[in-house]
Structure 1
Amino acid sequence: MQFTVRGVAVTVTPIILLTLALGLGIAGYGGYDYVQQTDAVNNAVAVETAVVETEISRSEGRRFYYRIRVEHTYEYQGDEYTSNQVFPGSAKPMYTVRDDAAQILEPYEPNTTTTAYVAPNSPSRGFLKRQRTLAPFKFIGFGSFIAVLTTLHAIGARNPGQNTGIGQTSEREMSHHDTVFGGQRNTLYRVSKRLLLVTPVSFLISLASVVALLLNSSTAAVQARLTDPIGFALLTAALSVLGFIAGLILYGSWSFTEYRRLREQIPDQRPPSPFRHPSRLITILYTRDGLDAYGRRVKLTGFVFTVTVLFVGIIGFVLVTAA
């Protein structure tokens, strides 16, 4: 189904509706959990609880993280309850560093007593730390991201990047796109391609070296310095990641100039720029077939910038959570 709102085309399909509902549902769950956390923190009653056991569990798969659990028993208004909650709410925080998880559990030794907090409207979910967490915001952010992308995909024309009728433009007319950041665009292209090819290999070799050195280490605790083999391997891995991101940025910059060169070849009235109208860019990124050279360049450029932002976001998240 397609209709217009103030001259803007809006397309609604079952997939768009389901995806939008999914994104809003995830964001709504995060918002609801944050409200529950706030109510629990504000209205909780302190009681004495006995710690039964503590546990740090590690996730399976390549991307691992740690969760904590503290089983404790307490009485509230004459009834006995057992809870595994450390923080209020149902969205449990995750830790990328095991020491951070262990630090949270440090005050809670098994067979000792401590203070728990019980919300009167949910007495079976007593928790140990009277503070809110950032866990709900992960759901809010992820769900909102899905909802925004889906909304942008539904708005606007259905065929951007197709049938643009690209013609020929003289080299003189396109000469002002021959340089990027003061350097030749062809040189930029070669450097970016080499970085994107070399840095993943360097990262894998460095990671394998770290694993091999750790397995051959005679001590359980290893302190890495830059002058040690492990420290040097870790530094190489970190530089490889930064080099890969630099390669993405350079390639994205080159690809953007290529997009501008192609855009100048459109003979008739040029369509709105996808990089100034996000709905067109999202639609092109979703399109699988039918794109011409202009559309394919827009799709590749947008994809590279998206991956770059994703990598920077992951690194930022790891640095913030590890700090």
Structure 2
Amino acid sequence: MQINGPTSRIGIALTLLIGLASMGYGAYSYTTQSAALDSTVEVTATVTDTSVERNSGRRSVSYVPQVTFQYRYEGEQYASSNVYPGTLGKDFDTEAAARDVLEPYEPGETTTAYVPTDDPGDAFLEHERSNKPFLLIGVGVLFVLSAAYSAIRN
């Protein structure tokens, strides 16, 4: 099997740019996720709504659990809908799996929310990491390697 990458200079540059952008966004997402997890304060939040958002891609469908909740932090009232920290939360292959995440969160009930001290408007409910930033970085590395291989080959 032969791998054919881009052959023109513009194609190589574009592949390199996509790879670097993917790696950069993955690193940014990991950093924001880590910052959110490392500097949080627990507060009591009231769940106001739950839903599952359906995301359709070209080849796949994913489901993202959404929980809207209100909370107070340092005397200010906030609202958030982040179940997970950072810019790249978890998504699920089935709607049922996403609904399972929502099970402990009923509208009108109270729960614990985690408030990042440096960004109190971005509270979240599940104090756990996502592997999506690493996947994004890995895809970026593949694009960069493809561009490098094509540049050397040509």
Global fold match (TM > 0.5): yes
Structure-2 residue corresponding to 1:120: 117
1:51 and 1:107 map into 2 onto residues whose CA distance is 10
In the comparison of the two structures, how many residue pairs are matched? 147
1:43 and 1:22 map into 2 onto residues whose CA distance is 32
Q: What is the CA-CA distance between 1:150 and the residue it aligns to?
A: 1.3
Q: What is the CA-CA distance between 1:26 and the residue it aligns to?
A: 1.0
Structure-2 residue corresponding to 1:110: 107
Q: What is the CA-CA distance between 1:155 and the residue it aligns to?
A: 1.1
| TM-score under structure 2 length normalisation | 0.87
- Secondary structure in 2 aligned to 1:127? coil
| TM-score under structure 1 length normalisation | 0.43
Q: What is the CA-CA distance between 1:140 and the residue it aligns to?
A: 1.4
**CA distances 1:179-211 after superposition (whole Å, capped 9, x unpaired):** xxxxxxxxxxxxxxxxxxxxxxxxxxxxxxxxx
1:126 and 1:67 map into 2 onto residues whose CA distance is 17
Q: What is the CA-CA distance between 1:12 and the residue it aligns to?
A: 8.2
- Secondary structure in 2 aligned to 1:85? coil
Structure 2: 5+ residue stretches without partners: 1-6
Structure-2 residue corresponding to 1:208: none
Alignment of 1:67-78 (within 5 A): 67-78=64-75
Structure-1 residue corresponding to 2:33: 37
Q: Is 2:17 the counterpart of 1:21?
A: yes
Query: What amino acid is the match of 2:95?
Result: R
Alignment of 1:203-218 (within 5 A): none
- Secondary structure in 2 aligned to 1:65? strand
- Secondary structure in 2 aligned to 1:150? helix
Q: Comparing 41-50 with 143-152, which one deviates more in the overlay? A: 143-152
Structure-2 residue corresponding to 1:285: none
**Native 8 Å contact 2:54 2:63 kept in 1:** yes
Structure-2 residue corresponding to 1:162: none
Query: What amino acid is the match of 1:133?
Result: S
- Which has the larger share of strand? 2
Which of the pair has more CA radius of gyration? 1
Structure-2 residue corresponding to 1:136: 133
- Which has the larger share of helix? 1
Moved runs in structure 1, 4+ residues, more than 3 A?
none
Q: What is the CA-CA distance between 1:149 and the residue it aligns to?
A: 1.1
2:86 and 2:23 map into 1 onto residues whose CA distance is 15
Q: What is the CA-CA distance between 1:106 and the residue it aligns to?
A: 0.8
Q: What is the CA-CA distance between 1:87 and the residue it aligns to?
A: 0.6
Point out which structure has higher relative CO (alpha carbons under 8 A, 6+ apart). Answer: 2
Query: What amino acid is the match of 1:82?
Result: A
Residue identity (%):
37
- Secondary structure in 2 aligned to 1:125? coil
Structure-2 residue corresponding to 1:94: 91
**RMSD (Å), alpha carbons:** 1.8
Structure-1 residue corresponding to 2:3: none
Alignment of 1:259-274 (within 5 A): none
**Native 8 Å contact 2:15 2:146 kept in 1:** no
Query: What amino acid is the match of 2:151?
Result: A
Q: What is the CA-CA distance between 1:145 and the residue it aligns to?
A: 1.6
